């Protein structure tokens, strides 16, 4: 059995197992000690420029040669540019990941705190650089909390992807009291309006309640005033006229007894007595009039009961 790589025979493997090879880069062995029909061919330290291409196995005799194609992938570097980032809360943050010297083009993905990021949040572009490819991936999202952001690059032949990570530090923004103030002012305004309405209703109710009382008080005062006026008028009608009053210029009175009015003259005296007795007969009032040599000195006496 012979093995050829890219058209060059590199190994001869007889059934006895004695290998003949061009270099230590190539080796072969039976798949198992009991099965000599299966041979493993190994290429060590492969390079895309030296070993990539067709690999042919040929067996002497009536056997067809079998050909396989060897594809060699190369992994390059991956790096998140800018390092750790500090931003304010709710601010949009941007990360840029660069991959270099990959073949074929590297598959780039992002994770945040170990969780895969949606592909709608980042955009990746690639371009050839000689016989390799470079890629640039830009991730944008709104910063909410601290996070570890990781960029991963891989090709099919890699058992695990290569990665580069940075830390995102989010500074909490100061609390916004605008909404709270608006809510408090609105509630206060509604409460004040409600209190004003209640106050107006209460005042109107009290006013309606006081109107009958005021009318009753005014009626009572009118009745009282009317009663006082009636009593005063009656008192004026019931008063006695003082018969002992003498008008100006009169110097004497007739020496007669005025029993009806309560005016009488003492016998042979210049002193006149005026008696005033109330209608109820409870008492009287007497006025003296003294007559001097020059005439009559008047004395007015009015008694009101």
Could you list the pLDDT tens digit for every one of the 305 residues in the chain? 899 999 899 998 887 777 777 788 998 888 887 877 888 899 999 888 888 899 999 998 888 889 999 999 999 999 999 999 999 999 999 999 999 999 999 999 999 999 999 999 999 999 999 999 999 999 999 999 999 999 999 999 899 999 999 999 999 988 777 877 888 888 888 888 888 898 888 888 877 776 666 667 777 777 777 767 665 655 555 555 555 555 555 555 454 444 444 444 444 444 444 444 444 444 445 454 555 555 555 555 555 65
Q: Does 180 lie in the same domain as 167?
A: no
Predicted pLDDT of residue 57: 93
Distance CA 89, CA 173 (A): 6
Query: In the chain, how many domains are there?
Result: 4
Q: What angle do CA 56, 60, 66 make, to 5 degrees?
A: 25
Are 155 and 81 within one domain? yes
Q: How far apart are CA 102 and CA 86, in angstroms?
A: 31
Residue 162, beta-bridge partner list? 153
Is residue 127 a part of any domain in this protein? yes
pLDDT at 281: 45
pTM metric for this prediction: 0.53
Residues 166 and 186 in one domain: no
The answer on 160 and 93 residing in a single domain is yes
Tell whether 277 is covered by a domain.
yes
Would you say residue 25 lies in a domain? Answer: yes
Q: Which of 142, 171, 200 is the last residue of a domain?
A: 171
157 shares its domain with 195: no
Token pair for 98: 């660069």
Q: Is residue 81 part of a domain?
A: yes
Cα–Cα dist 9/22, whole Å: 8
pLDDT at 237: 52
- Backbone dihedral region of 51: left (phi > 0), alpha (psi from -120 to 50 degrees) or beta? alpha
Same domain, 86 and 149: yes
Which pLDDT score is estimated for 239?
Answer: 52
Q: For position 272, what pLDDT does the model report?
A: 47
- The set of residues, in sequence order, having a beta carbon less than 8 Å from that of 2 and lying 6+ positions away, is 9, 11, 12, 13, 57, 58
Please report the pLDDT score of residue 64 as a whole number: 86
Task: Mark whether 166 and 181 lie in a shared domain.
Answer: no
Tokens of 46: 């492969």
User: What are phi and psi for residue 286, nearest 5 degrees?
Assistant: -115, 135
Residue 144 belongs to a domain: yes
| Cβ-contact 140, 122 below 8 angstroms | yes
Number of C-beta neighbours around residue 75 at 10 A: 17
Going across the sheet that includes 162-171, the strands are: 85-88, 162-171, 147-154, 107-112, 115-116
**CB-count burial class (<10 Å; 0-12, 13-18, 19+) for 264:** middle
CA pair distance 134, 99, nearest whole angstrom: 5
Domain span at 161: 77-171
Closest-CA residue to 73 (of 44, 100, 51, 104): 104
Q: Regarding beta strands 271-277 and 284-292, do their DSSP bridges make them parallel or antiparallel, or are they unpaired?
A: antiparallel
């Amino acid at each position: 059995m012979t093995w050829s790589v890219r058209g060059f025979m590199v190994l001869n493997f007889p059934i006895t197992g004695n290998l003949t090879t061009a270099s230590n880069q190539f080796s072969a062995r039976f798949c198992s000690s009991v099965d000599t029909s299966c041979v493993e061919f190994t290429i060590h330290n492969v390079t895309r420029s030296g070993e990539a291409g067709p690999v042919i196995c040929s067996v002497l005799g009536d056997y067809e040669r079998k050909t396989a194609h060897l594809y060699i992938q190369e992994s390059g570097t991956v790096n998140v540019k800018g390092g750790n980032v500090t931003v304010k809360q709710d601010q949009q943050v941007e990360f840029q990941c660069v991959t270099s010297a990959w073949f074929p083009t590297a598959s780039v993905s992002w994770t945040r705190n170990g969780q895969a990021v949606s592909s709608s949040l980042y955009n990746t572009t690639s371009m050839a650089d000689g016989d390799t490819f470079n890629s640039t991936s830009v991730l944008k999202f709104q910063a909410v909390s601290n996070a570890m952001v990781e960029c991963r690059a891989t090709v099919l032949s890699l058992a695990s992807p290569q990665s580069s990570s940075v830390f995102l530090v989010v500074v909490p923004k100061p609390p916004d009291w605008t909404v709270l103030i608006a809510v408090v002012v609105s509630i206060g305004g509604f409460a004040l309006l409600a209190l004003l309405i209640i106050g107006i209703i209460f005042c109107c109710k009290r006013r309606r309640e006081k109107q009958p009382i005021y009318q009753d008080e005014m009626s009572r005062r009118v009745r009282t005033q009317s009663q006082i006026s009636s009593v005063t008028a009656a008192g004026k009608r019931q008063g006695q006229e003082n018969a002992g009053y003498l008008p100006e210029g009169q110097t004497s009175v007739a020496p007669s007894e005025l029993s009806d009015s309560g005016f009488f003259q003492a016998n042979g005296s210049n002193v006149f007595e005026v008696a005033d007795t109330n209608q109820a007969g409870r008492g009287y009032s007497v006025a003296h009039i003294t007559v001097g040599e020059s005439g009559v000195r008047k004395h007015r006496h009015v008694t009101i009961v």
